[in-house]
Amino acid sequence: MEPTSSTELASAPATEADLGEGGASPAQTPGTVPPPADPDGMPSPEPGARSRIPRTMPRAVDPRVVPPDPDPDLDHPSLYLNRELSWLDFNWRVLHQAVDPRNPLLERVRFLGITQSNLDEFFRKRVGGLKRQHEAGVSQLTIDGRSPAEQLAAIRPVVLEMQEQMGKVWKEQLLPQLEQAGIVIRAIDDLEGPIQEELHRYFMDQVYPILTPLAVDPGHPFPFISNQSLSLAILLRYPEGEGHHFARVKIPLERGRWIPLEEPGHYVRLDDLVNRHVGELFRGTELDNCHVFRVTRNADVRRYEEEAEDLLEMISGELRERRFASVVRLEVERSMPGKVIRLLTDELKLEETDVYKISGLLDFTDATKLADLDYPHLKYPRWEPVIPDRLHAAAVEDQERSIFQILKSGDILVHHPYDSFSGSVQRFVEEAAADPDVVAIKSTLYRTSADSPIVHALIRAAEKGKQVACLVEVTARFDEQQNIEWGLLMERAGVHVTYGLVGLKTHAKVTLVVRDEKKGLRTYSHIGTGNYHGTTANIYTDLGLLTATKKVGYDLVNLFHYLTGHAPEQEYKSLIIAPRDMRGAMEEMVDREVQHQQAGRVGRIILKMNAIDDSRMIRSLYRASQEGVRIDLIVRGHCRLRPGIPGVSETIRVISIIGRFLEHDRIFYFGNDGDSEILIGSADWRRRNLVDRVEAMVRITEPELKARLVGTLEHALEDNRLAWDMDGEGYFKLRMPRRGAEVRNYHRTLMREAEARRRP
């Protein structure tokens, strides 16, 4: 495959005609209808909008200088970017979606909330882990040559700048445009007297009874501050006492942060309301000042699986430990007095470098709630996933024809959210549960929805007397409690539940159905790149193969024997399983492309992943590039490889696609001199995936399905709307269509292709 791309990076400011698709709406009076939509259903662009689209974002990466060496050492730290800083660069690209005027307004608001949520998780997992390493005296350097302390020092200024930019985007761009669109966030101090009186009554009736003021004095110790809760820090004094006393009030956000006013589209913030009337809680005292603060607690707690007698009990204990884990970040309003900050840092056992002073609104995660408001013209046009052709035809033409009969005539490749999850994968499991000829169902569960149709189908199957086995991964970060509850519920229904393997996370996304047919038992399989989660299947891009191929079924039988019977020495004919075989198999495929290139043939590699940080796999790609193999990497998140380095990675290109859907699918293309090998699977090229997890990849063999995946990769490489190009310094630059050229939006292209397949 030789993708041809006409994409060129624009170098001059563009005009309205160059934009070619939806952008920011012109200034409107509140409640007015937006301008006419373009052919893709997006609002027309504001004149000159494109000239205001930033091509770059501030950079987090701090690469080492590559030494001019004709025979470079591929282990040299200068050839690798730092994982944490590369991740922060990814979050800059997410924040860009909130800045980009081509995106619908409420989607920009949503991306601001996602940026905050990403940053919170980064502190809980990555910063928390680095702090624990630093405190333990870990001296081992990363492959880019940095200690935990050096990484922490490099992270702080980047986060400070990112938070400053988030505040500016909110105040200077989103708030004014929301007001123009009729969504107004009001400051209580600016409201007229009657409205303030109504809000005071609301406070006394609906908020006051919930609040719990916690004062600190010799009889009342400093209160526990829960993770990511929003609180008020209050300094008060008693009329006849000396000095100040500290008190904390937690903002009760369970019912939402945005309080609607009588005027449609107008809101006030709950924290603003509580701050305004907090004196009602401390009658008889004088309040000197009141400021919002927020803490983030470490989620990287110690785990001793090998010593645990009961994995469920260990995970339950870990969840309790995480709730009370050490604080790794304190966010405060910039106007908070120094003595209050010192009190908080002393009580929370923090350093000055753990404090982040925020200008303006603190915590944007609740912006996603604003984005959910019912203003369709300010959002992406609604997308309805398509039921795959053969499944749709069978449903219309022959109600009695089961999905298993359809699979006998060939494999089905599904690509969510373009293809319907409920009409394919969910249907596969639900039909298996109802089919009297199905004797066994086996599945893995890493993350799933709160009310999972998949889990309910497995329960129904067990209640019907079928053999049902499910590996529930209870170490899936932040989903542990829900997975434990699902596991116990399935156990009570008779499902054989296994709670993972000691020392390994089961990240493979696989389901096996065994059916008793005239010629004996027959297997039907699903191997995917994403979770069995119906909600995220509408947001994340993921691939799945539905097949009746005997070799795949045989491999899944053996894989489940490994997972439930802890029997690692299994034989696999079609699947590639981590940790046993995957890294070696991938290295062999890279080496094969090198051999083709050395023999005068064409070496070609295209890889689409979420992230790449495994040093062995990066060195393998470097060696292939040194031999002239052309390599394209489509990497959504962090990438430690440096493309375009003379003598090392000159033939490697890296792009990142950020847009409406979260890129989560994984495709591995090896040209093999015209006899291409294409795989999909659950693993990125990260050490944790290749060494510390059970993962599964499957080869796609049917020519039609291979061609579809090749087309998907071509569309990604040709994108000039969502794609960012990475240079050897780790710097990303947003692609723009050449003046007058066609806008190629990867997500829109796949949506249009799916729409063309939609049956009436």
Which pair of tokens denotes residue 638?
A: 């962090």
Q: Where are the alpha helices (DSSP H) in 599-647?
A: 615-626
For 425, list phi and psi in degrees, rounded to 5.
-65, -45
For the chain, percent helix, then strand, then coil, each to nearest 5? Answer: 40, 20, 40
Count the neighbouring beta carbons within 10 Å of the beta carbon of residue 687: 16
701 CB-near residues (< 8 Å, 6+ apart): 411, 549
DSSP string, 484-536: HHHHHHHHHTT-EEE--BTTBEE--EEEEEEEEETTEEEEEEEEESS-S-TTG
Q: Which residues contact 312 (CB under 8 A, 6 or more apart)?
A: 474, 484, 487, 499
Give the contacts of 196 (CB within 8 A, at least 6 positions apart). 188
- Residues 492 and 459 sit within 8 Å (Cβ to Cβ): no
The backbone torsions φ and ψ at residue 694, rounded to the nearest 5 degrees and listed phi first, read -90, 115
Please give the Cα distance from 539 to 673 (Å, whole number).
Answer: 36
The rounded distance, in Å, linking the Cα atoms of 409 and 402 is: 12
Active site residue: 266, 291, 416, 507, which one?
A: 507
Nearest CA to 635 out of 78, 9, 81, 55 is that of 81
CA angle 642, 647, 653 (to 5 degrees): 40
Separation CA 353–CA 750 (nearest Å): 45
Closest C-alpha to 325, from 349, 350, 297: 297
Sheet holding 184-185, edge to edge: 184-185, 266-269, 258-260
Whole-number Cα distances in Å, 221 to 224, 254, 278 = 9, 26, 21
Whole-angstrom Cα distance, residue 340 to residue 330? 12
User: Helices (DSSP H) in 250-376: which residue ranges?
Assistant: 270-277, 311-323, 338-348, 367-371
Told to judge if 245 belongs to the known catalytic residues of this protein, a careful annotator would answer no
Q: How far is 157 from 7, CA to CA, in rounded Å?
A: 34
663 within 8 A of 592, measured Cβ to Cβ: no
Q: Which residues are catalytic?
A: 507
